[in-house]
């Protein structure tokens, strides 16, 4: 496994930095009908401030479980997880917008829970909608928006939490290819604009190569970090770019080998 660390955008100092996320020696087991099952084993990950990391692996390898542990929705069986900047924001595959609220009011609800004064909420909600390029969506409800637009609102709502870490669990998996392509570009722009750390779960190799500064390939159960790639290709990246395509083939071959190894066990 390589250990190359990729510097965050604009990083000028060579001094060590406190990780935005530290996962140290984490194990996770669940009680099943057939007995205790180890889902994650000895996970060690540091995510730097402003870094974009993709967790890649086949279905059932523990990617979402790990994300739930980092978010605080669940606790590890052993090991420790540190997020010094506070609780991360979390975005799921489903937009989970409240259908009786407008896009703007969905965002304002998060701002209210954060204690943002009422007089400031609409302005801040409109700023976030503008950031995701939905300037005219403040008064629209979910049924009036396309799937891609709903995910943009969900992203704006996640950003309203004002966290330094954004966790994303296959947020574009249910979208058509063209919409997903557009949202890849938008997410890259927003990440570069905000400077947040992103941990992005996917089983789509090309999606990972297109977005990430670093890719961690997880083995099948028990889930472990089997391989790691640092990616210094400039953004924006296109799936058809030769370097993107070549790296996608390399990682796909490694993913297939992990799946074959699991099938032989």
Predicted local distance difference test score (pLDDT) of residue 6: 45
Strand, helix or coil at 165? strand
According to DSSP, the residues that pair with 55 across neighbouring strands are: 201, 216
| Residue 35: how many other CB atoms lie within 10 Å | 7
User: Nearest-CA neighbor of 196 among 76, 107, 83, 96?
Assistant: 83
148 belongs to a structural domain: yes
15 belongs to a structural domain: no
Peptide bond preceding 190 in cis form (omega within 30 of 0): no
Predicted local distance difference test score (pLDDT) of residue 258: 86
Can you spell out the DSSP letters for 251-264?
Answer: HHHHHHHHHHHHHH
Residues 180 and 209 occupy one common structural domain: yes
Domain boundary among 162, 178, 200: 162
Residues 110 and 234 occupy one common structural domain: no
Domain around 115: 97-162
5 belongs to a structural domain: no
Residues 169 and 75 occupy one common structural domain: yes
Strands 52-56 and 165-169: unpaired
Predicted local distance difference test score (pLDDT) of residue 5: 41
Any idea what the CATH number is for the domain that residue 62 is in?
3.40.50.300
What is the distance between the alpha carbons of residues 189 and 196, in angstroms, rounded to a whole number?
Answer: 11
Encode the chain (265 residues) as per-residue pLDDT tens digits.
333 444 444 444 455 679 999 999 999 999 887 778 899 999 999 999 999 999 999 888 999 999 999 999 999 999 999 999 889 999 988 888 999 999 999 999 999 999 999 999 999 999 999 999 999 999 999 999 999 999 999 999 999 999 999 999 999 998 999 999 999 999 999 999 999 999 999 999 999 999 999 999 999 878 999 999 999 999 999 988 999 999 999 999 999 998 888 776 6
Residues 81 and 137 occupy one common structural domain: no
Q: What is the pTM of this model?
A: 0.90
Residues 231 and 251 occupy one common structural domain: yes
Q: What is the phi/psi pair of residue 201, to 5°? A: -95, 135
Tokens found for residue 71:
């978010």
Predicted local distance difference test score (pLDDT) of residue 262: 74
Residues 65 and 157 occupy one common structural domain: no
Residues 197 and 259 occupy one common structural domain: yes
C-alpha of 159 from chain center: 13
Domain boundary among 122, 139, 162: 162
47 belongs to a structural domain: yes
CA dihedral of residues 166, 171, 172, 173 (deg, nearest 10)? 140
Predicted local distance difference test score (pLDDT) of residue 3: 37
Give 49's Cβ-side CA count (13 Å radius): 13
84 belongs to a structural domain: yes
What is the distance between the alpha carbons of residues 139 and 29, in angstroms, rounded to a whole number?
Answer: 45
CA dihedral of residues 73, 47, 29, 2 (deg, nearest 10)? 160
Predicted local distance difference test score (pLDDT) of residue 15: 53
Contact 198, 8 (CB under 8 A): no
């Amino acid at each position: 496994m390589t250990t190359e660390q990729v510097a965050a955008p604009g990083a000028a100092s060579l001094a060590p930095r406190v990780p935005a996320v530290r996962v140290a020696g984490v194990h996770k087991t669940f009680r099943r009908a057939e007995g205790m099952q180890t889902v994650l084993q000895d996970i060690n990950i540091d995510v730097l401030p402003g870094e974009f990391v993709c967790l890649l692996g086949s279905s059932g390898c523990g990617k979402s479980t790990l994300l739930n542990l980092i978010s605080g929705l669940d606790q590890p069986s052993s090991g420790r997880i540190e997020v010094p900047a506070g609780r991360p924001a979390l975005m799921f595959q489903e937009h989970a917008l409240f259908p009786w609220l407008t896009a703007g009011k969905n965002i304002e609800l998060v701002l209210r829970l954060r204690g943002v004064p009422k007089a400031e909420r609409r302005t801040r909600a409109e700023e976030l909608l503008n950031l995701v390029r939905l300037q005219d969506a403040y008064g629209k409800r979910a049924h009036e928006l396309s799937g891609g637009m709903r995910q943009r609102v969900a992203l704006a709502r996640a950003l309203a939490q004002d966290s330094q870490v954004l966790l994303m669990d296959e947020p574009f998996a249910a979208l058509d290819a063209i919409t997903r392509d557009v949202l890849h570009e938008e997410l890259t722009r927003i990440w570069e604009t905000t400077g947040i750390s992103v941990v992005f779960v996917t089983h789509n190799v090309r999606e990972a190569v297109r977005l990430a500064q670093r890719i961690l390939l997880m083995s099948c159960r028990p889930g472990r970090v089997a391989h790691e790639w640092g990616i210094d290709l400039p953004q924006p990246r296109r799936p058809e770019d030769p370097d993107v395509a070549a790296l996608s083939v390399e990682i796909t071959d490694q993913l297939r080998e992990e799946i074959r190894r699991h099938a032989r066990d």
